[in-house]
């Protein structure tokens, strides 16, 4: 059976950090403890300076197994303002990845 994971289309990530807050609230994490962290990267490109945001699940991410076992989306996916986070099997997400650009695939195990 395929493992599950998160596919993040970081090109569409606005850096709103709703995923961080949703994860903290879902798991009752205090300030400073995160299941996912949004990293900001300021890069010089051919078109000038660009800002990219890259959400990075931490070791505390368990893919919201208590939610997904009941068919619910992980908290971060549900609350992503840009709908750029996707949950599913690694096999399924890998197929989606081939259709999209600027994506990262995360699997915790
Ligand atoms: S899948 Fe759940 S535990 Fe993992 S980052 Fe998202 S909200 Fe946090
Ligand atoms: S909620 Fe979505 S758009 Fe907002 S920072 Fe997280 S991944 Fe990016």
Confidence check: pLDDT of 2 > 80: no
| Coil, strand or helix at 91 | helix
Burial of 25 (0-12, 13-18, 19+ CB in 10 A): exposed
Looking at residue 12, its pLDDT comes to 97
Name which residue sits closest to atom 2 of ligand 2, judged by CA: 80
Among all bound ligands, the one having the nearest atom to the CA of 17 is 2
List, in order of start, the domains of the chain with CATH numbers: 4-99 (3.30.70.20)
H/E run at residue 104: strand 104-106
CA of 54 to the centre of ligand 1 (A): 15
pLDDT tens-digit map of 32-76: 999 999 999 999 989 899 999 999 999 999 999 999 999 999 999
- Token pair, residue 58, equals 């931490």
pTM for this predicted structure:
0.94
Tens of pLDDT, residue by residue over 3-22, are 999 999 999 999 999 999 99
Q: What is the CB < 6 Å shell around ligand 1?
A: 22-23, 26, 35-36, 57, 61-64, 74-76
In the structure encoding, which two tokens stand for residue 28, read together? 């009752």
């Amino acid at each position: 059976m395929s493992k599950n994971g998160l596919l993040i289309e970081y090109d569409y990530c606005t850096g709103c950090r709703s995923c961080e807050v949703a994860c903290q609230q879902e798991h009752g994490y205090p300030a400073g403890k995160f299941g996912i962290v949004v990293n900001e990267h300021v890069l010089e490109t051919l078109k000038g300076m660009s800002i990219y945001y890259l959400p990075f699940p931490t070791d505390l991410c368990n893919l919201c197994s208590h939610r997904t076992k009941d068919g619910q989306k992980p908290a971060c996916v549900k609350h992503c303002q840009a709908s750029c986070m996707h949950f599913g099997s690694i096999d399924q997400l890998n197929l989606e990845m081939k259709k999209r650009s600027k994506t990262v695939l995360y699997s915790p195990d």
